[in-house]
Amino acid sequence: MTINKPTTNTPALLTRATLALGGLLLALSQGSALAADSASVQITERGDGRPVLMIPGLNSSADVWSETCDKLQPGVRCLMAQLPGFAGAPASEAARKDFLETMRAQLKAQLATAAPQGATVVGHSLGGVLALMLAAEADNKVKQLVIVDSLPFLPGIQNPNASIDSVRPMAQAMRDGTQHATPEQMRAQMGPMLASMSRQAERQPTMMKWMLDSDPRSSGQAMYELWTTDLRPLLPRIQAPTTVLGAWAAYAPMGSTLDSTRAIFERQYAGLAKAELRMSAQGYHFLMWDDAELVQAAIREAVARH
């Protein structure tokens, strides 16, 4: 590894979960060339000050954090992580088989090197799951957490009674079946799905490129593990003060409301004693773009407490 200087509208929630898969579906239709087994998390370091590890979501580039990092200057040393297999980065054979655990171990090693004194950790979507995994370890270097539109058990968004066993067949079919879809089939689905990811239409070409450049095996395995991993039992272990930022507005046409979505987040994070939930008024899933002030303020406050 290297361093470079209560019950809600179920149909609506099911639709929300389906839309969240959109980025995966297109990425699975095409992918980057196979890469060496040694591919790993790469860190782009920018700025001076207290360290903040920034973990992106599924198929995203580390550049998703660039604008946020710029706005946090001066006073923050951004450690922007590029996960292997996403947005054109070389894929890791280990991650293709065991994505979350491989990424957790690599990120932990990066933190030990780049911020041995500890750091604030920020994670978006899949990156939020990885941030929670890091913070749940007894010997972690996580001093503060900012979780951006991420849940510890993704299937719970559509069914509070879901279990890993109950969703596993669907997750397997999704991982296996989508790899055989043609690019044309995937493109036909991407318009409304991309529109639900950010309010800013000008961001869609960027998201499209990241998805097309991602390795399908890495993306498929990552999504499969997101649907079959339940971190809720680990939440009581997390001692780092945590700010959770939630989005809901993209799903209003399907019946979701701010209150109903807040209830989902509150239920899922009930085991994290030091969590504070803040819901975005109008931002979609990519809150670092759609509600930049909310995300930046949460990070600034976390850094100040560090």
Q: Residue 18: its pLDDT value, please?
A: 38
- 3 backbone dihedrals φ, ψ, rounded to 5°: -115, 125
Q: What does the pLDDT average to over 12-39?
A: 41
Instruction: Please check the confidence at residue 51 and state whether its pLDDT lies above 60.
Output: yes
Q: Residue 185: its pLDDT value, please?
A: 66
Q: Can you give the residue range of the structural domain that contains 40?
A: 3-305
Q: Residue 38: its pLDDT value, please?
A: 60
Q: Residue 295: its pLDDT value, please?
A: 98
Instruction: Please check the confidence at residue 30 and state whether its pLDDT lies above 70.
Output: no
Q: What does the pLDDT average to over 56-85?
A: 97
pTM of the entire predicted model: 0.88
How far, CA to CA in Å, does 165 sit from each of 68, 117, 161, 170, 223?
38, 39, 11, 10, 16
**Mean per-residue pLDDT over the chain, rounded:** 87
Contact 107, 130 (CB under 8 A): yes
Instruction: Please check the confidence at residue 8 and state whether its pLDDT lies above 90.
Output: no
Q: How far apart are CA 265 and CA 191, in angstroms?
A: 27
CATH number where 175 lies: 3.40.50.1820
Q: What does the pLDDT average to over 50-67?
A: 98
Specify the range with the lowest mean pLDDT, choosing from 14-23, 59-68, 135-144, 215-224. Answer: 14-23
Q: Residue 4: its pLDDT value, please?
A: 45
Q: Residue 6: its pLDDT value, please?
A: 34
pLDDT higher for 13 or 37? Answer: 37
The residue with tokens 């991420």 is 150
List, in order, residues 6 or more apart from 304 with CB less than 8 Å away: none
Q: How far apart are CA 205 and CA 191, in angstroms?
A: 11
Q: What does the pLDDT average to over 141-158?
A: 96
Share of the chain above pLDDT 70, in %: 83
Instruction: Please check the confidence at residue 275 and state whether its pLDDT lies above 70.
Output: yes
Q: How far apart are CA 139 and CA 135, in angstroms?
A: 9
Q: Residue 176: its pLDDT value, please?
A: 81
pLDDT digits 0-9 by tens, 73-127: 999 999 999 999 999 999 999 999 999 999 999 999 999 999 999 999 999 999 9
Instruction: Please check the confidence at residue 164 and state whether its pLDDT lies above 60.
Output: yes
pLDDT higher for 69 or 219? Answer: 69
Q: How confident is the model at residue 177 (pLDDT cuts 50, 70, 90)?
A: low
How many domains, the chain?
A: 1
